A and B are shown apart, each in its own frame.
Chain A
Amino acid sequence: MRKEVKFIDQADAYIQGNMSVEDRREFEQYCKENPSEAAAYEEHVLLLKKLNEYQSRVDFRSKLESIQSRIEIPEIAGRKKHKGIVELWKNYGYSALVAASVALLIVYSTLWMSGFYSDVKDNSNKYSALKRDMNRIASNINAQTKVINNITSNVSKATPSTFGGTGFAVTANGFIATNYHVINGADSIYVQNAKGDSYKTEVIYIDPTYDIAILEIVDSSFKETSPLPYTFKDVEADLGQDVFTIGFPREEAVYGRGYLSSSTGFGGDTVAYQVSIPVNPGNSGGPVLDDNGNVIAIINGKQKEADGAAFAVKTSYLLQSLEAISKDSLDRKLQINKINHLKGLSRTAQIKKLQEFIYMVKVY
């Protein structure tokens, strides 16, 4: 018992550092020699460590308690509190964001589903000008090349035309009307009549606004034709009246008949009529005639998504264009035909008479 008391006493002195160097060495030596005493020493040290830790925790807690009792909770709690909008945002910000995105989603999906966007979509997609793109019709190119090569006139072209359309004579001496979009960007333009004769032409007038172009045949082999059988009617045509056209959507002249379905064109365009005639690329520039053989319009386009809705520029704009051409610049007289030879004839007879004056326009 005394021995143990003395050991602990020494251990305390050792830990606290109240020992002479000699005694310290002796104590360490003693511990080394007696493992059981060394274990007792370890246990003692551990207990003291825990005791100290406990005490410092108690002290720390009481320090915190005293700080807590000093601070004014309502004051600092209130001070940190956000006011008004910030507080609202903190509380409901996330809900508001979710609500806003849902609202946006609903708005736009409703608009989309109700077809709002398809209405505001670029309208030009629905409209197609009816010039014939030769490159798209590969089989026709070969046939056309053959035709061109067979032409006996001194103008022969080896290369196929890149675009095509239709044109019709406005005078017997070589003036031809067609669409501006048919000849737009052309290097050279040839016209070919029903007999297969091809003539070089030059553009003498264009009016991009009304999609009208006037060509003049400049080929020396061209001889003046017989007088035009049709006349031009510049008064507004009646809704529902029967009309027909002849054009060149392919290598041969194609007849199409229908009726005048609206007095305005695409998107309410007053420059044109809407006619219900099956037309295809290549029909552009073809005349629209009424039963009596009056040219009332020039085919120039159709609506892509609607069947049988073709558009044709009114004749009055063609007459305007013809008048606008400076007479002095012409080497021939541009006299508009006033005598109608088609009136009262059957349709086949009309067409037979007409065919000679309708040209396939070939653009290179």
Chain B
Amino acid sequence: MVNRIKEERIRDDQEIIDGIAKGSTSELEYLYTEYFPMIYQLIIKNNGDEDDAKDVFQEAVIVLYDKVNSNNFVLTSKLKTFLYSVCRRLWLKRLNQPDRISFNTQEHEEVVAVEDDLMVSQQKETQFLLMEKSLHLLGEPCQTIISDFYLRNLSMQDICDKFGYTNADNAKTQKYKCLQRLKKLFFA
């Protein structure tokens, strides 16, 4: 794996984007090796540390992922520029805290507007947090039943066996109750 990271083949933006849309590990690794150092420098020079850099870059990759997977996806700039702009914006937002000093604006990279993309990502993130919270509040065994059935695609019979329900109908009733609670929590 480490050897793969060291591989220096230059890939074009489209190739990387197609890979990311499919969630390909190799393309994501390439993204890290190629563009993370730039972001690392940006964050380090502006009062951040390595963990900040990792956080910001991860956020940016997720923004890219959301953008790539949106229906009307168009990359209007170079991938590098896009990532840099997103990270810059994210880091500026974080720096907008009273104990941080001003941003080092000595820049050599082009910057494009990314506010819209960040907003889309932000909205999604809010929903995911809500879902996370809802699932958490749902508790066990509901959370597992829902996940098993809807996410891991186990059959009702499997679930019935796993949780020791006497018959599949009882399991179905239980799943229904869990689902109703989740709906209440999530759509509240």
Contact = CB atoms under 8 A, between A and B. Distances in A.
Contact of A76 (B36, B58, B135, B186): B36
Contact of A54 (B131, B153, B179): B131
Contacts of A79: 37
B74 interface: no
A4 interface: yes
B83 interface: no
B182 A60 contact: no
Label chain B's interface by main secondary structure: helix
A80 B23 CA distance: 26
Label chain A's interface by main secondary structure: helix
Interface string A48-74: 101111110101110111011011010
Interface in A312-335: none
For chain B, give the interface size range: 35 or more
B176 A8 contact: yes
B186 A47 contact: yes
A53 B65 contact: no
Interface in B113-170: 124, 127-128, 131-132, 135, 146-147, 149-151, 153
B95 interface: no
B78 to A, nearest CB: 17
A60 B23 contact: yes
A43 B131 contact: no
Contact of A51 (B38, B53, B54, B151): B151
Given A8-B179, A48-B150, A60-B23, 7 more contacts: A8-B176, A47-B182, A51-B146, A52-B150, A54-B135, A60-B65, A63-B28
Interface of A: 4-5, 8-9, 12, 16, 43-44, 47-48, 50-55, 57, 59-61, 63-65, 67-68, 70-71, 73, 76-77, 79-81, 90-91, 93-94
Interface of B: 1-2, 5, 23, 25, 28-29, 32-33, 36-38, 40-41, 50, 53-54, 58, 61-62, 65, 106, 108, 124, 127-128, 131-132, 135, 146-147, 149-151, 153, 172-173, 176, 179, 182-183, 186-187
